[in-house]
Amino acid sequence: MSQYRVLIDAYDEKGLVNKVSGVFYSYDLNIMSNSEFVDQENNKFFMRSVVDGDVNLEELKKSLTDILPSNTGIEVIEPKKKNIIIMATKEMHALGDILIRHEAGELEANILAVVSNYNDLESLVQKFDIPFITISHEGLDRSTHENKIIECINGFKDVNYIVLAKYMRILTPRFVETYEDKIINIHHSFLPAFIGANPYKQAYDRGVKIIGATAHFVNNNLDEGPIIAQEVIHVDHAYGWRDMQRKGKDVEKIVLSRALKLALEDRIFVYANKTVIF
């Protein structure tokens, strides 16, 4: 008996649910959970099923491919640990949260390595017997520095996601394109408010009463990629921007870990610079 996650991404038309569920039925599969969404404006159909039964992954995929329209995205995934690389700079909270979850067995992930432009976090990461790789940017132009990082990442096989756990440098288009929809970032504001540098300072200057954090896939427009998860906390006049920064860390780490978990469980569809999350 196997359990599979089936992801369908199609242009909407009548009968899609019937066709997919018909294939499941023909293989005598149990539907453990099933989520659908029709975006009527864009005529798009999304479906995520978890099925359980005695069937071969390739066969199941072939049967779905045979019956569904030709331009349909079809994924049949066997749940297993995905490979991730974490990038960080100096702050400990977001990275630490992932490390503890990993240690507790909460994440369907192997952490292949932590890559940083500084070595501040080395001693923390090494406690957990995870490779820590420092690639300093000092004395290097952005492109040379990134080349070294890409080279480093390419040294690992089957990297599923790159997690930016407060990696404080802007990535070049080349980097982003290389790992399209594979890079998850945490931005320390409630996007699209306060794009760019020091969002807590911006928030403080604006006098907001709520601050937040946003986990998103990275694309080539700074902080404008598809949003995966957001969360907020209330602040008041007594918060200086460093207080906001301090309190904001709790939201940042929770939101990033939540987004990572959604990705690892294959719950995210990306389209039109947005996400559908089941």
Which of 35/143 has CB closer to its own copies?
Answer: 35
Q: How near is the Cβ of 183 to its own copies at its closest, in Å?
A: 17
Which of 31/159 has CB closer to its own copies?
Answer: 31
Tokens 């991730």 map to which residue? 84
Q: How near is the Cβ of 269 to its own copies at its closest, in Å?
A: 8
Residue 218 to residue 170: CA distance in whole angstroms: 10
Tokens 């294939």 map to which residue? 23
12 is catalytic: no
Are residues 77 and 5 in contact, defined by beta-carbon separation less than 8 angstroms? yes
Q: How near is the Cβ of 22 to its own copies at its closest, in Å?
A: 5
Question: Does the N-terminal peptide bond of residue 192 adopt cis geometry, omega within 30 degrees of 0?
Answer: yes
169-183 burial, b at 16+ Cβ within 10 Å, e below that, comes to: eebbeebbebbebbb
- State the residues that interact with its own copies by CB under 8 A: 14-15, 17-18, 21-22, 24-25, 28-41, 91-93, 96-97, 99-101, 103-104, 106, 124, 127-128, 190-194, 206-210, 212, 226-232, 234, 236-238, 240, 246, 250, 254, 257-258, 272-277
Catalytic residue among 9, 97, 223, 266: 223
Are residues 85 and 163 in contact, defined by beta-carbon separation less than 8 angstroms? yes
Longest dimension (CA), the chain: 63
Which of 80/206 has CB closer to its own copies?
Answer: 206
Which of 159/232 has CB closer to its own copies?
Answer: 232
Q: How near is the Cβ of 7 to its own copies at its closest, in Å?
A: 14
Cα–Cα–Cα angle for 265, 71, 46, rounded to 5 degrees:
40
Q: Which residues are catalytic?
A: 223
